Amino acid sequence: MDWKVALDIVVSLLMIATIGYAVMLNNRLAALRKNRDDLAKVIINFNEATVRAESSIPKLRKAAEDSGSALQERVEKAQSLRDDLAFMIERADTMANRLENAVRSARTEVKVPQGKIGAASGGTNGNGGGSGKGAQAATVAAAAAASEAEADERSEAERELLRALQSMR
């Protein structure tokens, strides 16, 4: 056999292998082109979604700022109300203490004359009924005086509270 013929046969076999490999490569490139088109569509859709998200960010930021400022206003109003309530509780405690002291002093004032009246009327009236009525009248008078004094103080406290509330606003 001639070297030329053998060399031609080897080159022909290599050419056949190259043609087979080229066909296989062409099929893979076609699949890649098809996938590239799908990938391009996915990229376009992703880009559109990104643009929509970017345009929504200022709207979300504005909504968050509006909500934050509304919440801040409510917090400030709640703090103001808390301060007002604390002031009213403090004033109410003070008034309750004053009223309690006035009632105690009225009771002690009523108890002292009652003993004197009871001793004096005990000899004339055996059942002591006259002293009970006098003590009740004195208690009612003392309670009325205490409530009038408390009404004056309450009016003053209410005026102070109104001034404080008006100054807060």
C-alpha pair distances (Å), 142 with each of 66, 124, 137, 138: 59, 27, 9, 6
Tell me what pLDDT residue 146 has. 57
Provide block-wise average pLDDT over 10 residues at a time, the chain (169 residues): 88 96 94 86 94 93 94 94 90 86 80 50 43 56 58 64 70
25 backbone φψ class: left, alpha, beta (φ>0; ψ -120 to 50): alpha
Question: Hey, CA dihedral for 57, 63, 67, 68, is it positive or negative?
Answer: positive
The pTM is what? 0.38
Tell me what pLDDT residue 51 has. 94
Tell me what pLDDT residue 52 has. 94
Tell me what pLDDT residue 92 has. 87
